[in-house]
Structure 1
Amino acid sequence: MTEQSEPATHLPADVDAVQTALVEWYEDDHRAFPWRETEDPYEILVSEVMSQQTQLNRVVDAWTEFLDRWPTAADLSAADRADVVSFWTDHSLGYNNRAKYLHEAARQITEDRDGEWPRDPDGLSELMGVGPYTANAVASFAFNNGDAVVDTNVKRVLYRAFDVPDEDDVFERVASALMPAGESRVWNNAVMELGGVACGKKPRCDEEGCPWREWCHAYQTGDFTAPDVPEQPSFEGSRRQFRGRIVSVLSDHGELAVDDLGPRIRVDYVPDSDGEGSREWLAGLLSDLDRDGLVAFDEGAGTVALSR
């Protein structure tokens, strides 16, 4: 393995700070899906199977109705398979084979395992239709016993944030090195939330208060391409672009006077003008960054530096 492929090559020096920032961001405010409020492996498995290639908002009602009808693995096992498939079709949940596999997995748990669920990804993978990703998700969210999740969203986050090359084995090593030991439940939820909310194909870094902006390679360079985003999302001239430039310039120059910073982030900076490119415009950006804890802006003194 080359030096460039080592996980540490792609991670900030203070991994603890990166971990803490993401977990606090997630725990402070995240999308409320009902399967995030349970540790029941059956309920989580149903949500994972339903969520395959189906928008999460559409899954909520189907998941609730499914569990109202078949609240336990034993109930589902005892159901007529045709009824389960009919439910799947009526709720437009994708391939009917998923319903058949879920019904069979419930039978395996109920009849072959006396109601006992495997607690790790390897054991869960033995259930019908449960692939490595779903097995890891159930192990993580039901038993806090999973590995670091690596799906399309997570790859996009790692590629942008830490300049990880588009190689599956490197993504997996970096994701594993980044996840806090024994914290797969909260961590995998948090990193997937980051990819789904703040770091989608069209990034919403500032709008969603991305907790990794301080370290993010894409945020600092303005290049938000990714393996699933081959063309650059609209970015030129945006507030996000200028915020990234500010962080990058201060990283190189340390503390600066506001009017020394201005020309370094846009060539048309005129302190006493009106609108974009003015000192007032720049002060607004700096105030936002100060509130986010990324810079220390002393408006009275007219100076700014990176927060430490």
Structure 2
Amino acid sequence: MTDAEGADAALPDDLDIDALRAALVEWYEADHRDYPWRRTDDPYDILVSEVMSQQTQLDRVVEAWDGFLDRWPTAEALADADRSEVVAFWSDQRLGYNNRARYLHEAAGQVVDDYGGEFPETPADLQELMGVGPYTANAVASFAFNAGDAVVDTNVKRVLYRAFGVEDDDEEFERAASELMPDGESRVWNNAIMELGGVACQQRPRCDEEGCPWRRWCRAYETGDFTAPDVPTQPEFEGSRRQFRGRVVRVLGEHDELPLDELGPRIRVDYAPAGESGREWLRGLLDDLEDDGLIEVIERDEGTVARLRA
């Protein structure tokens, strides 16, 4: 925790922060959506992507971003462009409010005229650019210069609320996000936690499908309650495989290990070893969890047991 006493921390004080961090970064680096702006640290390229993404789905932004940079590849080129041409491009690509194109053109001029062609590097200094608010400034500082604060957008709030029970309050979300982010790692961390919210912890969660790396610690996954600030009603989960997986993780968290026929009745009341919801059904559930690295299934002379992976 970053708070020395822990009393005022936004996150539960029993969380293994180092393990959380390592799990998320490993998950992100193993496989993530390969948007082209994630392969560059050029602040101009990243600023263009951030402004375009404000009103447009990311998959649609790719083509527009490529076309924009082909036409105006640097801040100097954009500053020299006719503003009406920039606005026309923006409109043709259906990128939302045309004022953003005007602001982007103006910001490029500021970089050239006021900063000698070099982008400012901190969130505070980047906000001096026209149309660049706190979120965009922090994103550019993070992804271009690895010098940002913890990003807190709707997706990140959803993750923090569901996983750790962070209070639905902007200050609490900011504090929790800051406690989680490792020092000096804003580039990879902010990309990773936004990817988690955008891919696995969507409004309708895809915990198992996307191999969410925080399932072991997640309150929503344990309880099946996936409400969130932007999800006022619960997605259907009663009787789902996801619900039973969450129960397995919760029950094994309360015991060192359990034989299958002791675990089964704790997972569902209609468990019968030889029945439809019996050992074969339970073993399939456990095999999935073992493949995800959450549990271990151990064969012993006296029978099969399951336990959480250390």
User: Which TM-score applies when normalising by structure 2?
Assistant: 0.95
Cα separation, 2, equivalents of 1:114 and 1:43 = 17
Question: 2:226 is matched with which residue: 213, 224, 227?
Answer: 224
Cα separation, 2, equivalents of 1:38 and 1:291 = 33
1:283-298 map, 5 Å: 283-298=283-298
Cα separation, 2, equivalents of 1:22 and 1:146 = 18
After alignment, is 18-27 or 286-295 more displaced?
Answer: 286-295
In the alignment, which residue of structure 1 is the partner of 2:50? 48
Partner AA of 1:76 in structure 2: L
In the alignment, which residue of structure 2 is the partner of 1:127? 129
Partner AA of 1:114 in structure 2: G
Helix, strand or coil for the counterpart of 1:186? helix
Q: Give the gaps of 5 or more residues in structure 2.
A: none
In the alignment, which residue of structure 1 is the partner of 2:34? 32
1:84-123 map, 5 Å: 84-123=86-125
Cα separation, 1, equivalents of 2:97 and 2:143 = 24
Partner AA of 1:290 in structure 2: E
- Superposed CA RMSD in Å reads 1.4
Cα separation, 2, equivalents of 1:249 and 1:10 = 20
Cα separation, 1, equivalents of 2:264 and 2:293 = 20
Question: 1:245 is matched with which residue: 244, 247, 268?
Answer: 247
Helix, strand or coil for the counterpart of 2:282? helix
In the alignment, which residue of structure 1 is the partner of 2:21? 19
- Structure 1 runs of 4+ aligned residues shifted over 3 Å read none
Tell me, yes or no, if the aligned pair for 1:156 and 1:195 is still in contact at 8 Å. yes
Identity %: 69
Post-superposition offset of 1:9:
4.1
Tell me, yes or no, if the aligned pair for 2:36 and 2:62 is still in contact at 8 Å. yes
In the alignment, which residue of structure 1 is the partner of 2:270? 268
Aligned CA distance change for structure 1 residues 9 and 100 (closer, same or farther; 3 Å) = closer
In the alignment, which residue of structure 2 is the partner of 1:67? 69
Cα separation, 2, equivalents of 1:144 and 1:4 = 27
Tell me, yes or no, if the aligned pair for 1:156 and 1:199 is still in contact at 8 Å. yes
Cα separation, 2, equivalents of 1:4 and 1:28 = 32
Tell me, yes or no, if the aligned pair for 2:46 and 2:144 is still in contact at 8 Å. yes
Cα separation, 2, equivalents of 1:53 and 1:269 = 49
Tell me, yes or no, if the aligned pair for 2:222 and 2:247 is still in contact at 8 Å. yes
Post-superposition offset of 1:242:
0.5
Aligned CA distance change for structure 1 residues 132 and 11 (closer, same or farther; 3 Å) = farther
Post-superposition offset of 1:225:
0.3
Cα separation, 2, equivalents of 1:55 and 1:99 = 17
Post-superposition offset of 1:278:
1.9
Q: Give the gaps of 5 or more residues in structure 1.
A: none
After alignment, is 108-117 or 207-216 more displaced?
Answer: 108-117
Helix, strand or coil for the counterpart of 2:296? strand
In the alignment, which residue of structure 1 is the partner of 2:148? 146
Tell me, yes or no, if the aligned pair for 2:245 and 2:285 is still in contact at 8 Å. yes
Cα separation, 2, equivalents of 1:261 and 1:168 = 40
Listed one character per residue, the Cα deviations across residues 167-196 of structure 1 (whole Å, up to 9, x for unaligned) are 110110110010000000000000000000
Aligned length: 304
User: Which TM-score applies when normalising by structure 1?
Assistant: 0.96
Cα separation, 2, equivalents of 1:181 and 1:224 = 30
Aligned CA distance change for structure 1 residues 174 and 295 (closer, same or farther; 3 Å) = same
Post-superposition offset of 1:299:
4.5
Cα separation, 2, equivalents of 1:103 and 1:236 = 52
Cα separation, 2, equivalents of 1:289 and 1:120 = 42
In the alignment, which residue of structure 1 is the partner of 2:82? 80
In the alignment, which residue of structure 2 is the partner of 1:176? 178
Post-superposition offset of 1:5:
7.8
Aligned CA distance change for structure 1 residues 165 and 5 (closer, same or farther; 3 Å) = farther
Post-superposition offset of 1:26:
0.2
Partner AA of 1:181 in structure 2: D
Question: 2:160 is matched with which residue: 146, 158, 161?
Answer: 158
Tell me, yes or no, if the aligned pair for 1:12 and 1:215 is still in contact at 8 Å. no
After alignment, is 293-302 or 227-236 more displaced?
Answer: 293-302
Tell me, yes or no, if the aligned pair for 2:43 and 2:144 is still in contact at 8 Å. yes
Aligned CA distance change for structure 1 residues 264 and 51 (closer, same or farther; 3 Å) = same
Post-superposition offset of 1:253:
2.8
Post-superposition offset of 1:53:
2.2
Cα separation, 2, equivalents of 1:243 and 1:119 = 45
